[in-house]
Structure formats: structure tokens, C-alpha cells
Amino acid sequence: MSETGLLKYETRGHTCIITMNNPPANTWTPESLRELKAKVEELNADKDNYALVIASESEKFFSAGADLNRFNHDDKGQAFEFIGAFGEAFEALADYQGVSIAAITGFAMGGGLETALACDIRVCEEQAQLALPEAAVGLLPGGLGTQHLPWLVGEAWAKRMILLGERVKAEKAEQIGLVQEVVATGSALDKAVELAEKVAKQSPTSVRVCKELIMAARSQTMNSARALERETFVKLWDTQDQKEGVAAFIEKRAPDWKNA
């Protein structure tokens, strides 16, 4: 359990499961967002951690995002502090060095969907509904939603969801690439952990640099990335995992990763 009790932590093998624990709707607070940021940074420093899963114990709510009661005031400084906590937490989640997976149950609204958007992979249960409805209350998705969503589903669907406030059900979310798989009610966490376990078969140092290269495609040209890809490939020769991975393949055994 986290210091505030708003997050729960569990370790299964090389995977950390972070479960939101603020019923009934798992709304985020500045405190829980700061704890999420700190936990991700802790995991980045843990050589035994390869993956994380963001989960909910509720079939009805993954997360409703921010509690709008926290925005019913005229204090712009307070508003900036809250949205800053969202941005910093989800930047940290997006920059996590392992593989992050969102196990979406029920409603993922506003900052709840932005939580999932900051992850590498999203699976959702068949009853899930996803939306970024902030414009309906005079706000905007300030947890990187306007930045992450277009990269995942394209500009047109991002505009439909953000500018028109369209709510997307599970089947449509899979069709447009917002989630990678739809599973039965009650099984999102199991599927997410199953996917996370696949990460342990990969070299964690390779996963880290591959993720960096994939994400770099959002901000640089392919021409510049081509050279970077080759340079990074050669740099892997400085890692223990490269030597171990090749040796294990030749010796027909499972590799013993060092994450170094």
C-alpha cells in the first residue's frame, strides 16, 4: 500500500502491479499522482523490474480521472498545481524504461484514459467505455491527452473524441487502435500480467533502447533515426545482456538477464 493508501503495489516476478485504490471511481489526486511519479522513478532504478501494470479492482471504473469538485474554484494557482501533477506523473509513466500495460476495466474517462494513453499497451474488458470529455465542462485533457491520442488513433478520431466528446466502447476502441485487445469482464488484469510476463523473455537493456527509438519516431525524422538505430545497435555490445543473450541462444538455454 502507498503512503496515502490511494495506490496498491504488488510484485509478480519481474512485474509491478499498481492498482488504483480511490473508490468508487478511482479519481486521481495531486497526492496520488505524485506517488505514481515517485513509484515509476523507483522502478526505473530497480534492476529486477521489467514491466508494470496499471489496474483497478472495480469492474465499473478503471478511473474517472480528476474529481471535478477539485476544479470548482477561481484559484488558478491551485489549478496549475493539479494539472502540473497530472502532466509530471504521466510524463514519468510514458518515459518508464520497461513496458507499461493498462488493464482497463469499466469507464476510463478524462485523466483515467490519459493514464492508459501514457502506457505502452492497453487491454480493456468488454464493458469498458473510454472518453476525453473535458471540453464539455470548459476544460481540456491536460494529462497529455491531446498529445498521446492523435499518435495512437490518428488526428480524425482524436478530434472526434476530444472536440465532439465522443465516448468509445470497447469494440470500437480496438478497431481504431486505441486498445490492443478486448477481453471478458474480470480478465483484464490476467491478460495484462500475461503480456507483462513476455517482457521477461526479452533483454531488458534491449527493451529499454528499443522503446526509446520507437518513441523517438514522434519527434524526429526517419533519416536521423536510421543512423541512431545503427549507433544504438553497436552500443548494445557494451552490455552484459547482449553477451548473455547470444550465448544463451547458442547454448540452447534460457538467458539470465542482468539488466546491465
The neighbour count for residue 52, using CB atoms within 10 Å, is 28
Q: Coil, strand or helix: which one is 153?
A: helix
Annotated active-site residue in 59, 134, 171, 244: 134
130: part of which helix (H) or strand (E)? strand 129-131
Q: Which three cell numbers stand for residue 201?
A: 523473455
Annotated active-site residue in 114, 125, 166, 194: 114
Alpha-carbon 3 to chain mean position: 22
The neighbour count for residue 245, using CB atoms within 10 Å, is 19
Contact between 128 and 106 under an 8 Å Cβ cutoff? The reply is: yes
**Which residue shows C-alpha cell 469499466?**
106
Instruction: Count Cβ neighbours within 10 Å for each residue of 161-200 and write b for 16 or more, e otherwise.
Output: bbeeeeebebebbbebebbbebbeeeebbebbbebbeebb
Known active-site residue 114: yes
**CA 166, CA 149: separation in Å to the nearest integer?**
13
Question: DSSP characters for 165-208?
Answer: ---EEHHHHHHTTSSSEEE-TT-HHHHHHHHHHHHTTS-HHHHH
> What positions carry a catalytic annotation?
114, 134
